Chain A
Amino acid sequence: MSETKKNLNENQPRRSKSEKPGSLPYIWNYIKHNKSAMAGLFFLVGLFIISFLTPYIFKYNYRQVDVFLQYLKPCAAHPFGCDEVGRDLLVRVLYGAKYTLSIGLIATAGGGLTGILLGAISGYFGGKVDSIIMRCLDVFQSFPTILLAIAISAALGPGYWKLILACGIAGIPGYARMMRANTLTIRSSEYIEAATSINCPTPKIILKHVIPNAISPMIVLLSMGVANAALVASSLSFLGFGVVPPTPEWGVLLSSGRSYILQYPHMVVFPGLFIMLTVLSFNLIGDALRDALDPKLRN
């Protein structure tokens, strides 16, 4: 008896945590070796840190107005130039990174959590609950995300937290649908059946068994969702909903610079460049995550 037990232990060498596919150390190990994802990660983290340290690094405040420096083209003292009231654009762009990054992350986190819960509940219970939730999501998904965000943002009014709420709500249907599909695949698994048979309370089943097992494909969707949320937030601010001037959010900078595009194009080039680099970094990280979690690459 003890002999067979010993044999079993020898046949399965212990795997280190970073070799187990799908686990966090494995994912981090994978991303570490992906150059473009690491570049994106460095850019995002660096941008985030710098956006908080702008008062200590740069001479100019993001709100400091100097009418003699109006519309200044990029030069040594002001690498990005100045805007229409003489505020240094470099400091404004770097300070504004705070808004875009945080809006993207918080909106996706909130929308993602709600979507995951809704999708798990919908997929687990099935029947009437599923129908009702899906019909509601159909209504929300029957027009493009940006328009939904515009409508919600118009109803809530301008403001930082209201913009986050609008972007979050606009993203819920996508996450809920995917989570529901994942839940349906694992719904008939044996461990769920075992959990119900020992009288495990339903919320516990959903939280401890359904969600952790169905969440892998969601990670990629969430990372792409952050990029999308940042883009939607900038678009909304560009149109005038969401954050309003003088907050130095990138969409707001673009819309105020737009009036002077004919004579002073530098006011439009730099904020948009940073939007592109931020979205690019999130996309690169998302691509690397997708490759890391790809079931076909697991041996």
Chain B
Amino acid sequence: MIRYIAKRLLQMIPVLISVAILIFTIMYFVPGDPVQIILGDYFASPEQIAETRARLGLDKSFWEQLGTFLLGLTHLDFGKSYIYGNEVGPELLYRFPKTLALAGSSLVLIIIIGIPLGIWCALNAGKLIDRALMVVTLLLNSMPSFWLGLLLIILFTTELKLLPSTYTNSPKSFIMPVIACSASVLAAVSRQTRSSMLEVIRSDYVTTARSKGLSENAVIYKHVLPNALVPIITVCGTRLGVMIGGSTVIEAVFSIPGIGQYMVNAINSRDYPVVRGSILTVALTFSIIMLVMDLIYAFVDPRIKAQYARAKKRPDKA
């Protein structure tokens, strides 16, 4: 198992290097000149432009710039922001916890509320409250998260004046962003939990467990739920990516100083080192989360665990 984790971590390195090269190449072809944006169009003389270009290293060829960038990566130096001049690395370190708080709280909310809600709906399937909740989750599933965020701002900030609509130091400012970010995925997860559970409840081994006299709780939590978990984790995993991307938009709506907003502003002002650094950070985080998701699969389903551990333990052929 440890070998599997180590192998996956090693596999991440060439992928991340390829991501770095890919992003560098994409940004190289973005129309627009950073030097013009820094100096402004009208007052810069050609000498100033040339000097700024040389200072930022933009007059070198594509391969030289790529080489400098990759070399800097090896000792975790993302370079300096073109616009603000500060180092990108420490700025990322400052902003990362805010994005992590947003995405992490959303994830926790989804797991704590979404899965139990799905289980409860599956157990009360067909009743009025279940049908009402299914309609609500259907609507929430299709709702764009930034629209929900704007609606929450209208309701809670403008009308009721309860919650702040931008980032402040108090945790109250995170309530609306987290709700907006997690609502759509929460709806999807509870729908998937419900349908997964309903499918498993019809299985033969559940009937066997019930006829053996097990209490309903034992049947549900020891037999139905573990078997129903695999598709739920799949949905969680795929939607997690959407949610991390969605947190970028939510950061734009609520003006939270996180990595997403940093990246979007940098793309708009052609601040390439910032864009590269932030996309690499997001790619690294995302890859680690996917790895954790795979490990959770192995934890939940013993068959998958056996697959991962298979390489180590081969039965000796006598």
Q: Which residue of B lies closest to A277 (CB)?
A: B142
Q: Which of the candidate stretches B26-34, B65-73, B83-91, B168-176 sits at the interface with the other chain? A: B26-34
Interface check B153, CB cutoff 8 A: yes
Interface check A252, CB cutoff 8 A: no
Contact A147-B147, Cβ < 8 Å, known A142-B16, A152-B26, A261-B154: no
B30 adjacent to A146 (CB under 8 Å): no
A143 adjacent to B282 (CB under 8 Å): yes
The answer for the CA separation of A272 and B153 in the assembled complex, in Å, is 14
B248 adjacent to A142 (CB under 8 Å): no
Contact A154-B30, Cβ < 8 Å, known A144-B286, A275-B144: yes
Q: Which of the candidate stretches B49-57, B217-225, B239-247 sits at the interface with the other chain? A: B239-247
Cβ contacts under 8 Å, B31 to chain A? 157
Interface check B207, CB cutoff 8 A: no
Interface SS of B by simple majority: helix
Cβ contacts under 8 Å, B286 to chain A? 142-144
Contact A261-B150, Cβ < 8 Å, known A147-B248, A150-B264, A150-B267: yes
The answer for the CA separation of A269 and B144 in the assembled complex, in Å, is 12
Chain A 169-211, CB within 8 Å of chain B: the 1/0 string? 0000000000000000000000000000000000000000000
Q: Which of A147, A152, A269 contacts B282 (CB 8 A)?
A: A147
The answer for the CA separation of A286 and B242 in the assembled complex, in Å, is 19
Chain A 225-251, CB within 8 Å of chain B: the 1/0 string? 001000100110011110000000000
Interface check A151, CB cutoff 8 A: yes
A272 adjacent to B151 (CB under 8 Å): yes
The answer for the CA separation of A241 and B264 in the assembled complex, in Å, is 9
How many contacts A-B (CB < 8 Å)? 121
The answer for the CA separation of A146 and B23 in the assembled complex, in Å, is 14
Interface check A155, CB cutoff 8 A: yes
B249 adjacent to A139 (CB under 8 Å): no
Cβ contacts under 8 Å, A277 to chain B? 142
Q: Which residue of A lies closest to B266 (CB)?
A: A154
The answer for the CA separation of A231 and B19 in the assembled complex, in Å, is 25
Which of B16, B31, B144, B154 has most chain A Cβ within 10 Å? Answer: B144
Q: In the complex, what's the smallest C-beta–C-beta distance from B70 to chain A, in angstroms?
A: 15
Which of A139, A279, A280 has most chain B Cβ within 10 Å? Answer: A139
Interface check A145, CB cutoff 8 A: yes
B150 adjacent to A142 (CB under 8 Å): no
The answer for the CA separation of A279 and B184 in the assembled complex, in Å, is 12
Chain A 143-168, CB within 8 Å of chain B: the 1/0 string? 11111001110110100000000000
Q: In the complex, what's the smallest C-beta–C-beta distance from B287 to chain A, in angstroms?
A: 5
Interface check A19, CB cutoff 8 A: no
Interface check A51, CB cutoff 8 A: no
Q: Which of B18, B26, B144, B146 contacts A151 (CB 8 A)?
A: B26
Contact A231-B26, Cβ < 8 Å, known A142-B16, A142-B19, A261-B150: no
Interface check A66, CB cutoff 8 A: no
A147 adjacent to B144 (CB under 8 Å): no
Cβ contacts under 8 Å, B139 to chain A? 276, 280
Q: Which of A239, A262, A265, A268 contacts B264 (CB 8 A)?
A: A239
Interface check A63, CB cutoff 8 A: no
The answer for the CA separation of A276 and B145 in the assembled complex, in Å, is 10
The answer for the CA separation of A23 and B249 in the assembled complex, in Å, is 41
Q: Which of B142, B153, B158, B264 contacts A279 (CB 8 A)?
A: B142
Q: In the complex, what's the smallest C-beta–C-beta distance from B49 to chain A, in angstroms?
A: 22
Interface check A32, CB cutoff 8 A: no
B30 adjacent to A144 (CB under 8 Å): no
Interface check B279, CB cutoff 8 A: yes
A279 adjacent to B144 (CB under 8 Å): yes
B146 adjacent to A143 (CB under 8 Å): no
Which of A135, A151, A279 has most chain B Cβ within 10 Å? Answer: A151
A146 adjacent to B249 (CB under 8 Å): yes
Interface check B143, CB cutoff 8 A: yes
Contact A144-B244, Cβ < 8 Å, known A152-B26, A261-B158: yes
Q: Could you pull out 24 A-B pairs where Cβ atoms are within 8 angstroms?
A: A135-B18, A138-B15, A144-B241, A144-B242, A144-B244, A150-B267, A151-B26, A154-B267, A155-B27, A238-B252, A240-B264, A240-B268, A258-B150, A272-B147, A272-B150, A272-B151, A276-B139, A276-B143, A276-B144, A279-B142, A279-B143, A280-B139, A280-B142, A283-B142
Which of A's residues lie within 8 Å of B, judged by CB? 135, 138-140, 142-147, 150-152, 154-155, 157, 227, 231, 234-235, 238-241, 254, 258, 261-262, 265, 268-269, 272-273, 275-277, 279-280, 283-284
The 5 A-B pairs at the shortest CB distance, nearest first, are namely A146-B245, A272-B147, A144-B245, A280-B142, A279-B142
